[in-house]
Structure 1
Amino acid sequence: MTDPLNHSYYAATAHERRPQRDIEGDLECDVAVIGGGFTGLSAALACAERGFSVILIEAEHVGFGASGRNGGQLIPGLRWTASEIEEEFGREHADALFDLCWRDNRVKARIAKHGIDCDLKAGHLEAAWAPKDFDAMRREADYLVNRFDYPTETVAKGDMGGHIASPIYHGGVHDPQGGHFHPLNYAIGLAKAAEAAGVRIWEGEPVRRIAQFSDWSNELFTERTIAGARYVIDATDSWIGQLEPDLGRYTVPIMNYNIATEPLANGDELLPSDAAVADSRFVLNYFRLSADKRLIFGGGERYSQVPPRDIAAFVQPFMAEVFPQIADARIDYGWGGAVAVTMNRLPHIGRRGNTFFAHGFSGHGALVTTLAGELIAEAMAGTAERFDILANLPSQPFPGGKWLRRPLATLGLLWYALRDRLG
C-alpha cells in the first residue's frame, strides 16, 4: 500500500531486491516469523543457520516499519544507563546485560559477515542540553571506564566544536563503539542473507490470527491460506496488539518524524567527526550526515496517530534551533513512523509455550533488535541462558485498559516534555 509517512531518504536510496512474489510449496515449517524488521529478519536468519526451516511473513515489505525509517543511530546499551541497571538489578545481572548490550555488537558482525552495503560509520555523541545533563554524563562516563573498562571520551563544552558546529550544547560524551547506518539497506541486506540461508520470505500478506493447539502445533491464518509451524516468533512491534492484544498492553505508540536536507556543501563543517548525535532532552533531537552529506534530522514527537500536514515544516524549526546556519536549506524528504514504547523504556522480550516475542524497544532498538532476534534463535535451539538475561527484564502493562491506556500514557509523556521546556 502507499504509505503517506514514508517519503523517506531511505526508500529513495534503497538497494534493489527482488522479493518473492508468493510462497510456493509446503507451508509447514519449523519456524514461522511474523514481521520483516530487524528482529524478525535476524531471528529468521539465525534460525536458518541452525538448520530450522523458516518462513517469514510480512504484511507490507521488508523494513516497512521502524526498522526501515528510523534515524539510523547505532547507540550501544539500553535506555537505562549502565549504572542505573546495576543499582536496580545488582552486579551479576548488570555484568551480563553489559556484555550483551554494550560489548556484543551483532549489527557490525552481520554487516561484516554478509558484506551488507549500508553506509556504516563509527562514532556516536550524546550531547548535553543543560549543564546538569553534562554533569550526569561525565559521572556515567567515568563509571563506564572504571567499572567496565569501556572506552568513552568526555567532551567539554569548549571542545564540542570538534564534533558539532552548534553553540547550544554544554558538553557531551563520545562513544566510538556507536555509529550510524542506512537502516533500510541493512534490512534489505539481512533479507538477502536470510534468503540465501533458505528462509522463504512472504511479503504483502498480513497474518490475521495465531492459533496454538499445543506446545508443538501452531497455525497462522493469513488472508489467503494457513501456515503451520512448530515455533512462532512475533516480531511485529508497534502492531503486536493486533495479533496478541494482551501483549499490546505493554506498549504505546509514539510518532517520530525525520527530515533529510539537500546535499550540503558545508556538511563536514556541521559534524566534523561524522558521528551521529542525540541530545539529552526527553523529547530529543537526533541527527547525522548521510553518505551523500545530507543532514538527517529527527526532532519533536506527537502522541496523536495523525501526522502533521507538512512533516518538513514540523521538524525544520528543531533543526534550525541547533543549526541556524542551514535554517534555509532545502528539505528533500520528510517521513515518520511509530515507535513502540514500554512503561520503563526497557524492551519486553519473552516466550509463551512455543511462541516467542520481542517488542517495545522504545526508540533504542537499532542495535538490540538484531541481538534479540539472534537470542531467540539460540533459545529455540536449546540454549536459553543469554535469552533469559533480556527476558528477565521487568515489564508491566500500561494502566487504563483498552480505551484509557493511550490517553493516560500520553498525559505522562506530555508532563516530561513540559519539564524539558521549563528547564
Structure 2
Amino acid sequence: MNARVHRPVHSDQHAPSYYAATANCQLDYPPLAGEQLADVCIVGGGFSGLNTAIELAERGFSVVLLEARRIGWGASGRNGGQLIRGVGHDLDQFANLIGADGVRELKLLGLEAVEIVRRRIEHFAIDCDLTWGYCDLANTPKHFEGFLEDREELRALGYRHELLVVKPDEMYRVVGSDRYCGGLIDMGSGHLHPLNLALGEAAAAESLGVRLFEHSPVTRIDYGPEVRVHAAQGWVRAKTLVLACNAYLNDLNPELGGKVLPAGSYVIATEPLGEARARSLIPQNMALCDQRVALDYYRLSADHRLLFGGACHYSGRDPKDIAAYMRPKMLAVFPQLADVRIDFQWGGMIGIGANRLPQIGRLKDQPNVYYAQAYAGHGVNATHLAGRLLAEAIAGQESRGFELFAQVPHITFPGGRYLRSPLLALGMLWYRLKERLDLALSH
C-alpha cells in the first residue's frame, strides 16, 4: 500500500521527508548580497558548519555562514536520526600512524562527541525529540561475540552509561523480529529529529551573532592570506575559511572532493501505527542498527511511525521509487507490517572516505583553510565533535583531537568524479557477496 507517498524531489527546498513535515519552525535567511567581512567564513549549513559557527562565536570570532540551499538541506536534515557513540570504523588500523595512545584518544573522542550533542541540546533548549537508548543487532554469532569484546573495551575506556548484552533468546525484549542473533544495548546513545536539531542550532548560532545566508551557492574561492568567497550576488572576505560541505562539496575544491565519495542512503516512514503496535516492534523505543555492509537502521518517531533506513548506494544513482525499493527490506525485518501504508520516502548523500575515518584538518598549501567531511554514517555526533576541534584549532587552542585527525592521510578515490562511484560499487559487490556467504554458513 503506497497511497499518499511523498515522493522525493531534488530542489533547493528540503526533501519531502517526515522531518520536513514535522519541523518545529521554518527559518528563512536571505541570500548573500554585497560584501561581508568576517574573521571566519564557513561554507555549508549542516551540522558541521553550524557547530563550527557556534563554537567560534562562543570564542569571540565574527562568522559568516553560507548555505547553497536551506539550513540542514543535506544529510544533516534527512538522516536516520541515530545518535551513536564512536567515530570511524576499526580505529586500531591507525595505530601505526598515531600510536596506541592516539587510537585510545580517538575512541574517547567518539564518546565525547555524543556528550557534545547532549550538552548543546540542553544549553539551547532545542526541541528535537531526543530519546536515549540504542541497540546494535547481531546478524551472525560472530557479530554477537564481537559485542562482548566491545562491551569490555567500552568499560575499559571508562564509559559510564549502561551496556547490556542481549542473548538471542531475549531479543524479543528489544525488537519484534526473529532476524537477529543477539544485541548490545547502549543507554548512552539514542535518537532524535535531525532537522529540528539543525534548525535549533541555526537559531542558536544566530543568537550568538553568526550571520547566516541561504540560497547562496559558492561560485569561486580566491585563496590567500585573506580568502574571498564568491556567490552570485556577493562575496565574503575573511581571514579563515572552513569547508563543511561533505558529500555536496562537488567541484568547489577538487583536492578535497576526490577524497570523499557521495553515497546514497534512503529512509521510509510508515503511517502512524499507534503506540501499542509501534511498541510491539521496538518495545523500549530504541534506535537499532544491524551489522551488514548494506545495513538496516530503524527507530520509532515521536508520533509512533516506523522510520526505516539503509541500502547505502555507491552507484551515484537514486532508486526511481524509494518506497518500492525499501519496503521489501522493511518487511524482511517486520513481515507483520505488510498491511501498513508508507507515508514518506526520501534519500540523500552521505560522505564516505576510503578508510572510514572522518577527515578533519587544514589544507597543506593553504593553512588558513580548514575542512571536515566523510563521516561514514556517524555524522550526527562526529559533526559536532568536528565543530569543536576546528574551532579549537582556529582559535589557537591546544587541540589534541585536531592534530590526531590531521595526522591520518586520506587517499583520493580513483576514476575521477564520474568513475569513482561505479568502481567502488563494483568493489562493494565483492564484500556483499562475501557477507552473504558468511551469513549462509552461520545458519
Distance across 2 between alignment mates of 1:187 and 1:388: 27
1:12-33 alpha-carbon deviations (Å, 9 max, x no partner): 1112133222457751111111
Give the structure-1-normalised TM-score.
0.95
Equivalents in 2 of 1:299, 1:233: separation in Å?
Answer: 30
SS in structure 1 of the partner of residue 51 of structure 2: helix
Instruction: Output the aligned Cα RMSD.
Output: 2.0
Match of 2:309 among 292, 298, 306: 298
**1:212 alignment counterpart:** 223
CA drift at 1:83: 5.7
What is the distance in 2 between the residues matched to 1:249 and 1:23?
28
Deviation at residue 328 of structure 1 after TM alignment: 2.1
* Residue among 380, 401, 413 paired with 1:386: 401
The unaligned stretches of length 5 or more in structure 1 are none
Q: Output the CA distance in 1 between the equivalents of 2:327 and 2:418.
A: 33
Return the offset for 1:74: 0.6
Provide the C-alpha distance between the structure 2 equivalents of 1:74 and 1:210, rounded to a whole number of angstroms.
34
State the AA in 2 paired with 1:185.
N
Contact 2:34 2:235 in 1 (8 A): no
Residue correspondences, number: 421
Distance 1:56 1:132 in 2: 46
CA apart distance, 1:222: 0.7
Structure 2 partner of 1:77: 86
Pairing 1:412–2:427 present? yes
Show the 5 A alignment for 1:133-144: 133-144=143-154
Task: Give the secondary-structure state (helix, strand or coil) at the position aligned to 1:274.
Answer: coil
Alignment check: 8 A CA contact 2:289 2:295 kept: yes
User: Which residue of the other structure, out of 160, 166, 174, is the alignment partner of 1:155?
Assistant: 166
Between stretches 303-312 and 184-193, larger displacement belongs to 303-312
In the TM superposition, what is the alpha-carbon distance from 1:380 to its structure 2 partner? 0.8
Post-superposition offset of 1:150: 5.1
**Corresponding residue of 1:326:** 337
- The whole-number CA distance in structure 2 between the counterparts of 1:79 and 1:92 is 16
Does residue 27 in structure 1 map to residue 41 in structure 2?
Answer: no
Q: TM-score, normalised on structure 2?
A: 0.90
- Name the SS for the 2:279 alignment partner: helix
Instruction: Summarize the Cα distance change of 1:227–1:233 in structure 2 as closer, same or farther, 3 Å threshold.
Output: same
Superposed, which structure 2 residues align to 1:83-162 within 5 Å? Answer: 89-104=98-113, 105-149=115-159, 151=161, 152-162=163-173
CA drift of 1:258 comes to: 0.3
**Deviation of the 1:393 alpha carbon:** 3.1
Cα shift at 1:397 = 1.5
Aligned to 2:60: 51
1:47-101 Cα shifts (integer Å, max 9, x gaps): 1111111110000000000000000001100232566666885331123212211
Distance 2:181 2:265 in 1: 25
Distance 1:86 1:329, change over 3 A: farther
Letter in 2 for 1:3: H
- Is contact 2:241-2:369 (8 Å) kept? yes
**Alpha-carbon shift at residue 184 of structure 1 (Å):** 0.3
Amino acid at match of 2:250: G
Q: 2:183 aligns with which of 163, 172, 175?
A: 172
Q: Tell me, in whole angstroms, the C-alpha distance in 2 between the residues paired with 1:88 and 1:144.
A: 22
Distance 1:147 1:225 in 2: 49
1:346-361 correspondence to structure 2 within 5 Å: 346-352=357-363, 353-361=367-375
Contact 1:241 1:247 in 2 (8 A): no
**CA, structure 1 residues 221+271, in 2 after alignment: closer, same or farther (shift >3 Å)?**
same
